[in-house]
Amino acid sequence: MKSKLILLALLVLILGACKQDPLKKQATVVFYNVENLFDTINDPAINDEEFLPEAEKKWNSERYAKKLADLSRVLGAVSLEELPEIIGLCEVENRQVVEDLAATAPLAQGNYQTVHIDSPDKRGIDVALLFRKGEFKLIHHEALLVDPGFETRDILHVYGKLGKDKIHLFVNHWPSRWGGLAKSQPNRLVAAETLKTKVDELLADDPKAKIIIMGDMNDEPDNKSLAEALNAQAPNSKAELYNLMIPLDEQHKGSYNYRGNWNMLDNLVVSASVLRGKGFVVTDQLGQVFQQEWMEYRNKKGQVSPNRTYGGPNYYGGISDHFPVYLQLNWQ
């Protein structure tokens, strides 16, 4: 009788341990430029005047609620099986709009936690990260200051544990192409160099460090900032960092459409141990653009682009001027 009780107690302990520490097999990481996700409240500390009810754009609570619902629908549809574990965002005004998005169905079911730090950007737009509590454990986060001579977005560095893997996540929104590619390129080179310095530190400390870099770089994979300063190469090459969007870019696909031409401005870059190795690795060594018909705008010529919220002061009622990009991880 005593031996049976001991066996029963051991069984309960084993089952309890399995329940408390399940081995996660899959995970989805998404990045989305959400095109000016502002609230309707005036913040004197930033230049948010164009996104107020009395402004020319007439940004109001109804339009704000619609945009939240549309963005949540997109993000909720990226992963077919369940909500994404990790979501990187850019063009968010503050922490509150990120939390409002996380509280909007279907994302509301994901029990998301927010990581956000106010940036020095003059317009007040920041980057942020959402993660599903219980799927990802936050260990540390910080802002990497990018200083190309004017206020711009910080790079958000988040370190945590996904399943049994410790992962470094970097959320980026590099300086725009305002003034033209050549004139603005030095600003993005500074952003790329800032990021590369931190990545080099991590890899010097641990050559097998798992690193996922996501963001709207305002540059394409073959531009100098990504290809040279960050040195993010094609997945089939030998390097320390790999740009998972290169295969789609070579097929002339993109996440942003400018005057009928597709641009791969939103990039996903990973370290070697995320591309191939043990633990979580990228499925098919490839990043994806998430694009559905209900997210698109089609002009009279039949040309497709992301259905944007605004064009100048004109309200179109669309979701965003970018498509999200994502990667899927599988446990090896």
CATH of the domain at 116: 3.60.10.10
CB burial of 123-138 (b: ≥16 within 10 Å; e: otherwise) equals: bbbbbbbbbbeebbee
CB atoms within 10 A of CB 294: 10
Residue 47 lies in a domain: yes
- Identify whether 129 is part of a domain: yes
Tokens of 100: 């409002």
Which residue in the block uniquely carries the two structure tokens 């609620």? 65
Cβ proximity of 99 and 133 under 8 Å: no
Residue 85 domain flag:
yes
**DSSP secondary structure string for all residues of 237-249:** S-SSEEETTHHHH
Specify the DSSP class assigned to residue 153.
P
Question: Which domain does 132 fall in, by range?
Answer: 25-331
Q: Which pLDDT tens digit goes with each residue over 199-208?
A: 999 999 999 9
20 found inside a domain: no
Tell me whether residue 31 is in a domain.
yes
CA distance 130 to 37: 15
In a domain, 37, yes or no: yes
Does residue 3 form part of some domain? no
Residues 263-276 have pLDDT tens digits of: 999 999 999 999 99
Is 58 within a domain? Answer: yes
Per-residue confidence of the chain (332 residues) as pLDDT tens digits?
Answer: 445 544 444 444 444 444 444 567 899 999 999 999 999 999 998 989 999 999 999 999 999 999 999 999 999 999 877 999 999 999 999 999 999 999 999 999 999 999 999 999 988 899 999 999 999 999 999 999 998 667 899 999 999 999 999 999 999 999 998 888 878 999 999 999 999 999 999 999 999 999 999 999 999 999 999 999 999 999 999 999 999 999 999 999 999 999 899 999 999 999 999 999 899 999 999 999 999 999 999 999 999 999 999 999 999 999 999 999 999 999 98
Distance of CA 100 to the CA centre of its chain: 17
Task: Work out how many domains the chain is built from and give that number.
Answer: 1
pLDDT digits (tens, 9 = 90+) for 73-82: 999 999 877 9
Nearest to 208 by CA among 113, 151, 274: 274
CA distance 34 to 73: 12
